[in-house]
Amino acid sequence: MIQAARDKDQPDIPDDFGNRDYSPYRFFTADEWAHFRADTPLTLTGDEVQRLRSLNDPIDLDEVRRIYLSLSRLLSAHVESSQMLFEQRKQFLTLSDEAKTPFVIGIAGSVAVGKSTTARILMELLSRWPSSPKVDLVTTDGFLYPNAVLQRENMMDRKGFPESYDIGALLRFLSAIKAGKKDVKAPMYSHLTYDVLPNASRTIDRPDILIFEGINVLQSRNLPADGKIVPMVSDFFDFSIYIDAEEKLIHAWYVERFMRLRETAFKNPDSYFHRYATISETAALAIAEGLWHNINLKNLHQNILPTRPRADLILQKGRNHLIETVALRKL
């Protein structure tokens, strides 16, 4: 029999979520979590997983079986429950013309921890449910202020921090999505030019499920003293996931990814980081370390990690970049 919630003194689960006796989460090892897959079919191939994973992320079909099939089954239950509640509320309010709104899944976590891979894998799995739901994926990158604005405000070294995003545009987008509006525009971002694409957008037209991914999507905001409504991004989420790992591992993954990009994407003359492809390996390594300590680590400590307890599900990765622990918020 699977032990549903691990004892607090189990050594194979990192004890960094506070006192287990009072924790709002249930904790599972990856092997325990894998059993919750039940009869959920594997609908991805090895080639598809390889195409969906990000640079430096070793996820394979075994990881999909261990973690993501159970997660897909759990999300299916949440979506079905949300739809049933919608119908019940519709009857309660005697509404005849109200359409259900998208089920929104937020994915948060540090840079280089694997959020994009998780988001793409989930998008493919959820879209292949028997009901064939329409699933869209949007990242917060497009909602960053353009580099010209960040440079003017002397905030380029704060890019990715909460203040570097156009929160108004972000909230208007999610509000329109949750209102069930047609053809909502999402701004686009280029990782090649490291900037928002001017006058470029993609249309999100009433999906059944929207995955919204970004480092600070669980960020809270200061509340007004007069009690006025101040919406937060996470107010629009039906389910939220935080991708986690030890700080030293994220540090290593960030530097490894930077050095690999130096041999690949940075070689493109149009790349914002092309200059890093032409310097020595020692100099590039020093720059990667500086970017980590001066920007990304500060953002992690000040803004990202403090939002972890707000997630419904925490996926804790180990040294090999594969998930070792799953923490699920109790109902």
Binding residues for ATP: 109-116
Residue 256, SS3 per DSSP: helix
DSSP codes joined into one string, 78-127: HHHHHHHHHHHHHHHTT-SSPPPPPEEEEEEE-TTSSHHHHHHHHHHHHH
Which residue's entry shows tokens 């050594």?
11
Q: Which residues pair with 329 in a beta bridge?
A: 25
SS3 309: helix
CA distance 140 to 138: 7
Provide the annotated binding site.
109-116
Q: How many Å apart are CA 147 and CA 134, to the nearest integer?
A: 33
**C-beta of residue 212 within 8 angstroms of C-beta of residue 140:** yes
